[in-house]
Structure 1
């Protein structure tokens, strides 16, 4: 059965997909006026980047393949969740990749890696491998995102702590440069609520938004079927973001399956701004509940875009 749907129109109600079969979507609006888009492709074998002058234009923009997996060893399988950032005049792509051996297909043996491009247009020029982001442990790690706050650049990512039960927790650390941590990470959250522990104990896919005197971090939880959902952390903007005590965690998911709208397993979001400057939530979801086989290999996680509202207290309203 063909479940692919969509109109190619930027439906910012988040009901119709913008781009089909693109999970873990990342949209970045650069100072050059272009929107840049990258995401996990169903084959998990390459990184694509496309750009357009409008959000709607991303749907029909021609993707450029900027990097392909290695034939074996590190970075050879399961290329997940790329993000594109512009830092100090250069482009960077953060992504997770597994390493394969003769006896291991690399699933859940991911590490985080960085590519760099000095071209003005990241669809052109050379992407240079800057290597693996080294963290506190040599364990399953993925979903790196980066942001600058008050003169310091930070990395937020998901990783398996060998001493903590479960698949991944979220960590934050300052950075020495775009591919190197300046200090060990500290844990922001681990799966503790029931809705974070369905199928797998998972906190992953962080995205950062700074608004209204606060730093917000969304993240995704549970297995990648219809149980997948989004949680929210927040901290005051003037706090030490590497102090776990300053962060507050929502006890309930902020975005979850909405059967009335036909959206299942929403998560792994990013944030961008509309042409008029309003905040947008970008996320993936499926349009059906029943999945045949492993959800990781169901290709129909589509990219959706939704206007982000704000409540009277200055907190985001997701749906």
Structure 2
């Protein structure tokens, strides 16, 4: 098969959600890290040329006025929510990388034309660097999953989970699911981040990303039985090997920070992720704008486990 081409260029941390209205909704980190941008289309391919609408801009100063990262759009309990991470301005913190997580809400049918309100910080009870929130509903319970620095654990971030009282408030203490422990999770930085949830084949799967955001970036996999207690770390299994990695021969590097959606048939699962097409990055990789959105089919083995294939090919 031929090498995959990006669906949307210069959009990192891509998130695609297919709503009951038949539209696909797309959001991602924009290179300027200054706003939340949405687009929608009837097809996946249509997202590439769809009109973009900026629904929220960062303020000039304050606790959430810098580095707007990794927005995700969800429809929870009858309203639209975008969860995102933001850093304080320099007059508050000298170190910009002090992100906390926030949410905005829209109660209108069309989130691109509706009115958005700022819901404030999602307080996890841990006052440290955190980012990459996602939500999912399992057996009627809304869950929140994210990445956070824990002071007593080496590394930059671990994956945590909590139940939610409502779409902007946690109802439980955070539970740690995984920390960077394998060599491929600790290249450049010790990182577990960017969780994405997929419920299929009697299991709850969670993909995540690890290591620095250059060519070392790779994806890992957790899973639990659908009838297990998701708040019990013992319910979760972890792959010792990454499930998606760079493909140097095809010039696709650093695949990660994925999401899942469904194809137009509403059955086939699509893997959405970002990657670069080169490794010669000047300075901090976070300021390189060329992380592009890719989409490929997810496949399954005879045991009902996902098969991710190559980041560079739809196979």
| Category of TM-score, reference length = shorter chain | over 0.9
Cα separation, partners in 2 of 1:297 and 1:273, compared to 1, 3 Å: same
Tell me if the contact between 1:98 and 1:106 (Cα under 8 Å) persists in the aligned partners. Answer: no
How far 1:104 moved relative to its partner? Answer: 3.8
Secondary structure of the 1:75 match is coil
Query: Which residue in 1 is equivalent to 2:280?
Result: 290
The 5-angstrom pairing of residues 17-166 of structure 1 reads 17-102=6-91, 104=93, 106-166=95-155
Secondary structure of the 2:278 match is coil
Cα separation, partners in 2 of 1:251 and 1:14, compared to 1, 3 Å: farther
Long gaps (5+) in structure 1: 1-11
Query: Which residue in 2 is equivalent to 1:316?
Result: 306
Q: Deviation digits for residues 117-167 of structure 1, max 9, x if unmatched?
A: 011000012110111011131100100000000010000000001111110
How far 1:14 moved relative to its partner? Answer: 7.1
Match of 1:167 among 132, 156, 159: 156
Match of 1:255 among 235, 244, 249: 244
Q: Deviation digits for residues 251-283 of structure 1, max 9, x if unmatched?
A: 010001011222100000000001023110000
Tell me if the contact between 2:10 and 2:290 (Cα under 8 Å) persists in the aligned partners. Answer: yes
* Cα distance in 2, alignment partners of residues 148 and 105 from structure 1: 38
Query: Which residue in 2 is equivalent to 1:193?
Result: 182
C-alpha RMSD of matched pairs (Å)? 1.2
How far 1:101 moved relative to its partner? Answer: 2.7
Secondary structure of the 2:21 match is coil
* Cα distance in 2, alignment partners of residues 168 and 13 from structure 1: 36
Tell me if the contact between 2:62 and 2:92 (Cα under 8 Å) persists in the aligned partners. Answer: no
Tell me if the contact between 1:14 and 1:304 (Cα under 8 Å) persists in the aligned partners. Answer: no
Q: Deviation digits for residues 72-93 of structure 1, max 9, x if unmatched?
A: 1111000000000011221000
Cα separation, partners in 2 of 1:211 and 1:14, compared to 1, 3 Å: farther
- Establish whether residue 228 from structure 1 lines up as the match of residue 228 from structure 2: no
The 5-angstrom pairing of residues 299-310 of structure 1 reads 299-310=289-300
Q: Deviation digits for residues 187-245 of structure 1, max 9, x if unmatched?
A: 00000001111111100000000000000000000000000000000000000000000
* Cα distance in 1, alignment partners of residues 73 and 91 from structure 2: 32
How far 1:105 moved relative to its partner? Answer: 5.5
How far 1:292 moved relative to its partner? Answer: 1.2
Query: Which residue in 2 is equivalent to 1:8?
Result: none
Tell me if the contact between 1:78 and 1:106 (Cα under 8 Å) persists in the aligned partners. Answer: no
Cα separation, partners in 2 of 1:14 and 1:138, compared to 1, 3 Å: farther
Q: Which sits farther off after the overlay, 265-274 or 85-94?
A: 85-94
* Cα distance in 2, alignment partners of residues 74 and 313 from structure 1: 47
Tell me if the contact between 2:77 and 2:167 (Cα under 8 Å) persists in the aligned partners. Answer: no
